[in-house]
Amino acid sequence: MPKSQKSIQEEVFLGIDYGEKNIGLALGRNGYVYPLSIVSGTNMMSAVHEITRLALENKISKFIVGIPLTGDEKETQQSLATRKFVKLLKIISKKPVIFVNEFDSSKEAQAEKAYFGVSAKKAALSDHVSAAIILQRFFETR
């Protein structure tokens, strides 16, 4: 089957929750998602190279990136920073990016962590759970 005819079930996606300190990553395929890892966001170029390496290793077809818009879908300071990061990621990786509004995903991630009894100390380092929620939202809207 030609690559252009791949169905969403056959593709592997990398969910990204961008932050200037930490970038959460999650893998998804066939509607299933799981948190993968956290990459430091303090050096944008290093982060992009690490994410591109992970994308190649995992045969990622597209990136699904959470975009932090307001409740009425307006840009925020963080959404502009995210778009800057994505622009560099697209140039280096040469892979398509799909944005998903991540409004309230942090609250949802906190609730998930509380449900599973994740301590506050560990919860602070679980951006990959937020990335999984972003990726799950993508699958739910397809």
Q: pLDDT by residue (tens digit) across 76-89?
A: 899 999 999 999 99
Task: Show the tokens assigned to 87.
Answer: 């622009």
pLDDT in tens, 106-134: 555 555 555 445 555 554 557 788 899 89
d(Cα 100, Cα 136) in Å, to the nearest integer? 10
Q: Given pLDDT bands bounded at 50, 70 and 90, which one contains residue 57?
A: very high
pLDDT digits (tens, 9 = 90+) for 25-36: 999 999 999 999
Q: Which domain holds residue 11?
A: 3-140
Q: Are 12 and 25 in contact (CB under 8 A)?
A: no
Work out the pLDDT band at 70, boundaries 50, 70, 90.
confident
Structural domains in the chain (count): 1
Q: What is the CATH number of the domain that holds 74?
A: 3.30.420.140
Q: Which residues contact 100 (CB under 8 A, 6 or more apart)?
A: 64, 65, 66, 67, 134, 135, 137, 138, 141
Closest CA to 47 of 22, 82, 74: 22
